[in-house]
Homo-oligomer: A and B are copies of this chain.
Amino acid sequence: LDEQAMEAVQARLDSLTKPQGSLGVLETIAKQLGGIQGQPWPEVEKKAILVMAGDHGVVAEGVSAFPQEVTPQMFYNFLSGGAGINVLARHANADVICTDVGMAFPLDPPELMVHRIMNGTHNMALGPAMSRKEALLSLLTGAKIARQAIDSGVNVLATGEVGIGNTTPSAAIISLITGLPPQEVTGRGTGLDDAGLIRKQEVIARSIEINQPDPQDGMDVLSKIGGLEIGALAGAILQAAFSRVPILLDGVISTAAALIATRLCPTARFFLIPSHSSVEIGHITALKELDLKPIMHLDFRLGEGTGAAIGFHLLDASIRILNEMATFESAGVSSKN
């Protein structure tokens, strides 16, 4: 990040009519935005949430409370503007860009499938979820979607996703990369009961056992126990970092994608902005591994990018603080004793 820009932002913040540092995370964000954009007056011009959709062969093991038909149904719901993410994105004045990178069922019209890499992943409990080539394609597709958004003027991104069963590969990735056992990072997803949760933990342990992914090799992890939308989000994060665009992380799936992305390129971490911590227990663990602290505790477990959409308000607020607050000098306020 641009140290000089960050110092300039800090100096500005310290001149404003408040005790130094007293606006906490808004100041941290303003400084990070300055460092990312390389300018003392960072700006949030156009916001977009990249919602990647994919399906998971592992649902055959009974790891989700909802049927797989829901993935395309929700995708159509996104397109018609009726989902939670649409509402919260409108509220935050952000675009929703949703892309099918690998759902299982056909879409109508077929043009909606132009970015689909395969019809859902294979069942990772029986073997690799994808080939290395398919995993690479998911990364490149995500990067392409992010680049198109950035080229169209978007200068703040956020991650979102839909995919029945996708907390399972996410927990598998988090377990493998943090070295914690599946029980400690696996949650109930959209609403599993106790028996379902135990089954899910067993499936994750089995998937890791059978595939033996190398935790040091992000591509190996992604292809063997990942997902297409997770790969696409990891690619979007890498592109954001490459283009010096901040990217807000949503929940546990987005954060698993961030683990993959930072395994491939550790400096991508500096372009990530955390938003909330979801109900999924692996989420906090994954954020900690990234050295990120969640700002909000919304008790969300919806995904789609909903937590990140709420986070946009914090970015807007931090920019407004920087631009609109009076200084001690301009307001004639005495500083510290």
CB distance A69 to B334 under 8 Å? Answer: yes
Closest CB of chain B to A250's CB: distance in Å? 13
For A, the interface residue count at a CB cutoff of 8 angstroms equals: 63
Chain-B contact segment, one of A3-11, A153-161, A171-179, A315-323: A315-323
Q: B residues within 8 A CB of A28?
A: 299
Closest CB of chain B to A12's CB: distance in Å? 14
Q: How far is the CA of A67 from the CA of B334 in the complex (A)?
A: 8
CB distance A310 to B317 under 8 Å? Answer: yes
Q: B residues within 8 A CB of A336?
A: 65-66, 190-191
Does A331 sit within 8 A of B, measured CB to CB? yes
For this chain, the copies found in one complex come to 2
Considering only CB atoms, which chain B residue lies closest to A310 in the complex? B317
- In chain A, positions 61-102 with a C-beta closer than 8 Å to chain B are 64-67, 69-70, 73-74, 76-77, 80, 82-84, 86-88, 90-91
Does A297 sit within 8 A of B, measured CB to CB? yes
Q: B residues within 8 A CB of A67?
A: 334, 337
Closest CB of chain B to A48's CB: distance in Å? 18
CB distance A19 to B301 under 8 Å? Answer: yes
Closest CB of chain B to A89's CB: distance in Å? 11
Closest CB of chain B to A309's CB: distance in Å? 8
Closest CB of chain B to A268's CB: distance in Å? 24
Q: How far is the CA of A15 from the CA of B90 in the complex (A)?
A: 21
Residue from B24, B87, B299, B334 in contact with A300 in the complex, judged by beta carbons closer than 8 Å: B24
Does A330 sit within 8 A of B, measured CB to CB? yes
Does A279 sit within 8 A of B, measured CB to CB? yes
Residue from B64, B83, B295 in contact with A296 in the complex, judged by beta carbons closer than 8 Å: B295
CB distance A316 to B19 under 8 Å? Answer: no
- In chain A, positions 285-337 with a C-beta closer than 8 Å to chain B are 293-302, 306, 310, 313-314, 316-317, 320-321, 324-326, 330-337
Does A23 sit within 8 A of B, measured CB to CB? yes
Query: Given that A70-B334, A87-B320 are known contacts, is A77 also in contact with B17, CB under 8 Å in the complex?
Result: yes
Q: How far is the CA of A123 from the CA of B20 in the complex (A)?
A: 27
Does A22 sit within 8 A of B, measured CB to CB? yes
Does A18 sit within 8 A of B, measured CB to CB? yes
Does A25 sit within 8 A of B, measured CB to CB? yes
CB distance B306 to A90 under 8 Å? Answer: no
Q: How far is the CA of A65 from the CA of B335 in the complex (A)?
A: 9
Q: B residues within 8 A CB of A260?
A: none
Does A30 sit within 8 A of B, measured CB to CB? no
Query: Given that A295-B296, A310-B314 are known contacts, is A302 also in contact with B18, CB under 8 Å in the complex?
Result: yes
Q: B residues within 8 A CB of A19?
A: 65-66, 190-191, 301-302
Interface residue ranges, A against B (CB under 8 Å): 16-26, 28, 64-67, 69-70, 73-74, 76-77, 80, 82-84, 86-88, 90-91, 190-191, 279, 293-302, 306, 310, 313-314, 316-317, 320-321, 324-326, 330-337
Q: A19-B301, A23-B84 are in contact. List 7 more A-B contacts (CB 8 A).
A: A17-B74, A70-B333, A87-B324, A87-B325, A88-B321, A91-B313, A293-B297
